[in-house]
A and B are shown apart, each in its own frame.
Chain A
């Protein structure tokens, strides 16, 4: 198992972080330096700290933001309540080094939304499943149900960019596998005051692109807020190229925190209805979760 020596990793990483505490967007909730590393047991941090310490992105609606307005923030409240704990946050943008700088550095104990199969964390049971959606304006009457649709060779298409490791989102990879590249426009997920999570949706609304291929929760949330009616069509679970589009999403904890993971699994089951209610309020388009 790749992470068999996690405690060693964690201690060294923790020292690094405390030399340069992150000052990201919002600081009020940061607990980075309050807990001495040596005081922590190797497991069960949540038992001694009496706080659900969430590793969150401060600027990534509808998932989370530093004002705790995202659906992941609301679900964290539900879980903390069930634990009888309060919620604290360490905010860090969700990009390269996120797990290393937060969860592995033991400055927080849970990441609220990660795809299952994501190696750096120990995952809970999934609490929702979604896929990528083709988003267009209703009044354009564009019907895209498959990336094999010949219309995609001429329409202007928006995709989200990731860029790390020379990889991008599954539908944009699937387009390039079909040789569709010229009419594809990228929207940065390196968010800053000029690049927002809803830029790709606004591009559809303004007509900059004809259709955008967007991860479900983002598509659903901003479609609900849109001033014009938008059409969302689910892409299939996986593409004929073998690239998966649909993912189960779970909570992630450190590999050493198995007991905490089991506790979270219990709570996810007990609070299932309330959590589903939150996902519905945020208009997260969901698929049935894969049976495990």
Chain B
């Protein structure tokens, strides 16, 4: 294929995309758009969140020649999670608070701006956000040619993708109550689904659907409370596990009215299965009361969910960590994949276990540790519950030392990727453990108290992270690349046989998907907590793009200017990552790489 025909087919594809609006269903349209490997129209490239690209111009043989094609500063110096989208010849990029949105013209030299939009937002939301003022990215609707973003201060914003003009802005969360928004929304057909952050302030977690057309609220499903508010109905599957069976468990597994401030926030990545018409996500930690004060399972915090996107109805829900005492939010991504005719999903939880579930029923097939877990010996596959090590349960009554993983988990928000060709997951991980220590005098809003302090430190081996290749059927690590700091950004795998990932020092690395062998690396301006993505530009070349800009929970010290002198700051993260500032300083730059020319076919 020469360059001319490549460009023509590109133009034809864009035309088809525009023309298709009336003839094809909104949902089908987006699915078709996501199938085109040249673009990247949703956060995980496809609804299954596999972050796998069929592109193979860049291979294990030529990746060594990759170099910077262009770069772009977002103008914001805080943690940059997520990745841009590419639709046709336009790249759409978001920033950390104040959540700027840019449209960049990939057809022009140096990708100049087509438009930019800076939403007005109250800066009062900044100190409320727990772990830096990150944003995990945009969602695109092909039918409406619109972009959607969740703003930190609580509004869902819709922009016209052509002009960057605001189409609507609706409120979903109230920062005055401690509610903020950081996750990438999910567009399914005519519905946009938004999540919520702020579990530590007694927020009641929920997912909420809005009309993609006009922002009208369609439904809200809470994480706690009676079944009719959680949207558990007669049609919800009966759980295979006795402790997840019964009516109104979102009330009865709490004391009194505690569920009203029960947490279970929903700030992770959302996947979707068009055949089953179900979307998948996880809920966070139980809220506001300490573990001794809320005996019970505290449902449905720390759970994996399958819901119908049009009605919000729960198809199944499975609680991974009942009665959490470690802050192991269950929000990490659920990556959908098929194996041996089975429809599965994999989830690498903060609690240190890598789960493989039947995504039609919510039944756990595999649950093995993907790091040196010690708070539980295993997940009992007959009950679905962890078999706990009582000496590692935290309590207000005393110190608990050497808990692995730390609250930040062996993996936090940084999304894994899946290679459907060889059946492996590539999982960016943290190797961090913690001490949870009894008494330190603290003060909050007019009240002195004695609180626990969390100290995080490197886990066994001393490296603070690793990227692992994981077999989701055997539940085993295939290879492992240790990292000095955490691998706190996502991974991308390509048909070229490469896994790309970033490090908190700022390296973008390319490793051999088969062996983990390092093939190429480049030092970007700041630490990386974003996700690599790839696309083919109008010139026919394959590009790889990565946001750098240290921050997030792991990098909060550098992003917010907290020194290593206080190891318990940043919810304990400074103890583990206090030296992150010696490798890079704050940033907010997209760096885009390419080969000199597209290799001949």
Name A's B-contacting residues (CB within 8 A): 2-6, 8-9, 12-16, 19-24, 57, 60, 63, 92-97, 100-101, 114-120, 160-170, 172-173, 175-177, 181-186, 188-195, 197, 215, 217-218, 241, 243-244, 247, 249
Chain B positions within 8 Å of A, measured between CB atoms, are 77, 97, 122-124, 126-127, 130, 174, 176-178, 200-202, 255-258, 261, 287-295, 325, 327, 394, 396-397, 440-454, 559-563, 565-567, 569, 571, 581
**Other-chain residue from A97, A114, A185 in contact with B443 (beta carbon distance below 8 A):** A114
A161 and B443 within 8 A (CB): no
CB distance from A20 to the nearest CB of B (A): 5
**B452 — which chain A residues lie within 8 A by C-beta?**
165-167
Q: What CA separation (Å) do A177 and B396 show in the bound complex?
A: 9
Q: In the complex where A114-B443, A115-B443 touch, is A167 in contact with B563 (Cβ < 8 A)?
A: no
Q: How far is the CA of A173 from the CA of B292 in the complex (A)?
A: 8
B292: A residues at CB distance < 8 A: 173, 176-177, 181
Q: Is the CB of B454 within 8 A of A181?
A: no
CB within 8 A of A115: which of B255, B256, B448, B559?
Answer: B448
Please give, as numbers and ranges, the residues of chain A lying within 8 Å of B201 by CB-CB distance: 163, 188, 190
Q: How far is the CA of A209 from the CA of B258 in the complex (A)?
A: 15
> What are the 5 A-B residue pairs with the smallest beta carbon separation, nearest first?
A12-B561, A115-B448, A9-B563, A163-B288, A117-B441
19 sample A-B contacts, Cβ–Cβ < 8 Å, listed by A number = A6-B563, A6-B565, A20-B126, A22-B124, A22-B127, A95-B127, A115-B441, A119-B440, A163-B200, A163-B202, A165-B454, A166-B327, A168-B449, A173-B449, A176-B290, A186-B258, A186-B288, A188-B202, A241-B397
Q: Which residues of B contact A177 (CB under 8 A)?
A: 292, 396-397
**Residues from chain B with Cβ under 8 Å of A191 in the complex:** 445
A184 in contact with B293 (CB, 8 Å)? yes
The residue among A5, A101, A190 with the most chain B CB atoms within 10 A of its own CB is A190
Contact A186 B261 (CB under 8 A): yes
From A100, A186, A192, give the contact of B177 (CB < 8 A).
A192
- Contact assessment for A162 and B560 in the assembled complex, using a CB-CB cutoff below 8 Å: no
A105 nearest in chain B by CB position: B561
Q: Are A167 and B562 in contact (CB under 8 A)?
A: no
Q: Contacts A173-B290, A177-B397, A217-B446; is A19 near B77 (CB within 8 Å)?
A: yes
A97 contacts B127, CB within 8 Å? yes
Q: Indicate if the CB atoms of B441 and A116 lie closer than 8 Å.
A: yes
Report the bound CA distance from A13 to B394 in whole Å. 32
A166 with B295: CB separation less than 8 A? no
- Contacts A12-B563, A164-B200, A177-B396 given; indicate if A189 touches B447 (C-beta within 8 A): yes
Pick from A63, A114, A165, A170 the residue with the most CB of B within 10 Å: A165
Taken together as a complex, chains A and B put the C-alpha atoms of A197 and B445 apart, in Å, by 9
Task: For B447, list chain A residues within 8 Å (CB).
Answer: 160, 162, 169, 189, 215, 218
Partner of A60, one of B124, B291, B446, B563: B446
A202 to B383, CA, bound (A): 45
- Do B446 and A9 touch (CB < 8 A)? no
Do B294 and A181 touch across chains, with their CB atoms under 8 A apart? yes
Chain A residues positioned under 8 Å from B563 (CB to CB): 5-6, 8-9, 12
Residues of B near A190 (CB, < 8 A) are 177-178, 201-202, 445
Within the assembled complex, what's the spacing in Å between the Cα atoms of A241 and B450?
13
Q: Are B124 and A13 in contact (CB under 8 A)?
A: no
Interchain CA distance A22-B174 in the complex, whole Å: 17
By a CB distance below 8 angstroms, the chain B residues around A192 are 174, 176-177
With a cutoff of 8 Å between Cβ atoms, the chain A residues found around residue B441 in the complex are 115-119, 247
Give bound CA distance, A190 to B97, whole Å.
22
Residues of B contacting A120 in the complex (Cβ-Cβ under 8 angstroms): 566
**Contact between A218 and B446, CB atoms less than 8 A apart:** yes
| Cα–Cα distance between A162 and B447 once the two chains are bound (Å) | 8
B230 to chain A, nearest CB (A): 21
A13 contacts which of B200, B442, B561 (Cβ < 8 Å)? B561
Residues on the A chain within 8 Å of B287, using CB: 163
Q: Closest A residue to B175 by CB, please name it.
A: A192
Q: Are A168 and B446 in contact (CB under 8 A)?
A: no
Contacts of A114 in B (CB 8 A): 443, 448
Q: How far is the CA of A118 from the CA of B289 in the complex (A)?
A: 22
Q: Which residues of A sit under 8 angstroms from B255, Cβ to Cβ?
A: 181-182, 184
B454 / chain A contacts, CB cutoff of 8 Å? 165
B123 adjacent to A20 (CB under 8 Å) = yes
What is the bound-complex CA distance between A60 and B445, given in angstroms? 7
Using A63-B446, A115-B443, A165-B454 as known contacts, say yes or no to A186 and B565 having CB atoms under 8 A apart: no
**Is A244 a contact partner of B256 (Cβ separation < 8 A)?**
no
User: Which residues from chain A contact B202 at a C-beta distance below 8 Å?
Assistant: 161, 163, 186, 188, 190
Chain A residues with CB under 8 A of B396: 166-167, 173, 176-177
Given known A-B contacts A2-B565, A23-B124, A183-B256, A167 and B442 have beta carbons under 8 A apart: yes
Residues of B near A168 (CB, < 8 A) are 288-290, 293, 449
A185–B200 contact, CB under 8 A? Answer: no
Add 17 more A-B contacts to A22-B123, A96-B127, A169-B449 (CB < 8 A): A2-B567, A6-B565, A22-B124, A95-B445, A115-B448, A120-B566, A163-B288, A163-B289, A164-B451, A167-B449, A175-B293, A177-B397, A186-B202, A186-B258, A189-B447, A197-B445, A215-B447
